[in-house]
Chains A and B, each alone.
Chain A
Amino acid sequence: QVTLKESGPVLVKPTETLTLTCTVSGFSLSNARMGVSWIRQPPGKALEWLAHIFSNDEKSYSTSLKSRLTISKDTSKSQVVLTMTNMDPVDTATYYCARMGYLSAFDIWGQGTMVTVSS
């Protein structure tokens, strides 16, 4: 069974750096065509794609947030990590990690983790 699970802080202060971890099971991050994206959704708003890491460790970032994002993975731990610097209240959202595999779509999603940015 393929699963993804997000973890990280519930509350961060403005200007702080957010670090989120996505722990996957049921597949290997080193398998060809297996990649993981981070996607967020502010309360009551639409989904927004943030970043993706491919099986060969190539990375892709949202052009509007590229300067603030870093995505990485630890294949031995089956984890994908997203860091976002200089957090602002507008970054308050549910953050999801999702797998992109053979279907060229986000076929498996984590449950999401809600992050609030407030002083």
Chain B
Amino acid sequence: QSALTQPPSASGSPGQSVTISCTGTSSDVGGYNYVSWYQQHPGKAPKLMIYEVSKRPSGVPDRFSGSKSGNTASLTVSGLQAEDEADYYCSSYAGSNNFYVFGTGTKVTVL
């Protein structure tokens, strides 16, 4: 049960866009449309931002969008704002034995 691979960091200026990748295998990201993304500010619990690859829960701004191609999922934050500076984690269903696996995490910095 290996963690999904994310870049350690990403950055952008206010108003710009940033995209974070999440690479897994055909046993997790590539095999199911159950990829989710979480935002975590320092000292806080994670918050669900995207579920089922590209769906947004109620209350999440439409600046956040998700997609998937093959074994790689992506989260794009458009129109970056200062409050978007946080750690972001992807997660994927990995089958009945492994259930869910998280990514290595990406720190997003708003320049």
Contact = CB atoms under 8 A, between A and B. Distances in A.
Nearest to B51: A105
B3 interface: yes
B46 A63 contact: no
Interface in B75-111: 89, 91, 93, 96-105
Nearest to B100: A49
Interface residues of B, number: 26
A31 interface: no
A2 interface: no
A111 B101 CA distance: 20
A60 B1 CA distance: 13
B102 A49 contact: yes
A46 interface: yes
Contact of A52 (B57, B99, B103, B104): B99
A6 B93 CA distance: 24
Nearest to A47: B102
B100 A37 contact: yes
Interface in B20-57: 34, 36, 38, 45-48, 51-52, 55, 57
Interface of B: 1, 3, 34, 36, 38, 45-48, 51-52, 55, 57, 89, 91, 93, 96-105
Given A63-B98, A96-B45, 13 more contacts: A46-B3, A60-B96, A63-B97, A103-B55, A104-B34, A104-B36, A105-B34, A105-B36, A105-B48, A107-B57, A109-B45, A109-B46, A110-B45
